[in-house]
Structure 1
């Protein structure tokens, strides 16, 4: 069962892909990227200089032994990361 969050997170990347993130004061190591997709902003909200995209990653990550699945989002317009959803084991 998943839960929606929308919590701001700090993310470290390598070659544009998340490799670790901090959520609720815990460091999570990304073990595997399950999926990655990009959603364009609505055409009526697009700025000619910055069309804006939301980039999503579904990853397996853990702060230790407990592995979970997490959905991370990067908004190119605001340059901020969110933890959108979590399936914790």
Structure 2
């Protein structure tokens, strides 16, 4: 899978039984379409859905708690609270199968691929983070 960090516009809505697939059994809504590089992609199926936290272990508070700050941990830094933003940053990921919405003369879907779409709860933005087409 190729990695990207491209902003995308996503239209969300109710997932029908076909689009829900095995990957989003607990989700009633999800991405239905997305616009990437000026092309509209229609979600055919949700293959997986999960939530990731931010790298809180890189925060100054976490490093001080485990003594990985170069030995500078003392009583003053040990009492510094870890900002909640470091601990609560989450992004929701959707692995979807999507196509351009056209069909071949034989009635088969035209092209398509598997895409990883990420929704960042801290800034409310969608990003395409991976693609196999």
TM-score using structure 1 length: 0.86
Structure 2 unpaired stretches of 5+: 15-28, 60-82, 103-109
Moved >3 Å (runs of 4+):
42-46
Task: Find the counterpart in structure 2 of residue 22 from structure 1.
Answer: 35
- Paired with 1:78 and 1:27, the residues of 2 have a C-alpha distance of 23
Q: Which structure shows the bigger proportion of residues in helix conformation?
A: 2
What secondary structure sits across from 1:47 in the alignment? helix
Q: Does residue 1:47 correspond to 2:60, yes or no?
A: no
Q: How many residues align?
A: 86
- Paired with 1:55 and 1:34, the residues of 2 have a C-alpha distance of 14
What secondary structure sits across from 1:78 in the alignment? coil
Task: Find the counterpart in structure 2 of residue 71 from structure 1.
Answer: 116
Higher relative contact order (CA 8 A, sep 6+): 1
- 1:19 Cα deviation (Å)? 0.5
What secondary structure sits across from 2:8 in the alignment? strand
Q: Which structure shows the bigger proportion of residues in strand conformation?
A: 1
CA RMSD after TM alignment: 1.9
Q: Deviations over 1:38-81 (max 9, x none)?
A: 01224446329x92311000000011311200000000001101
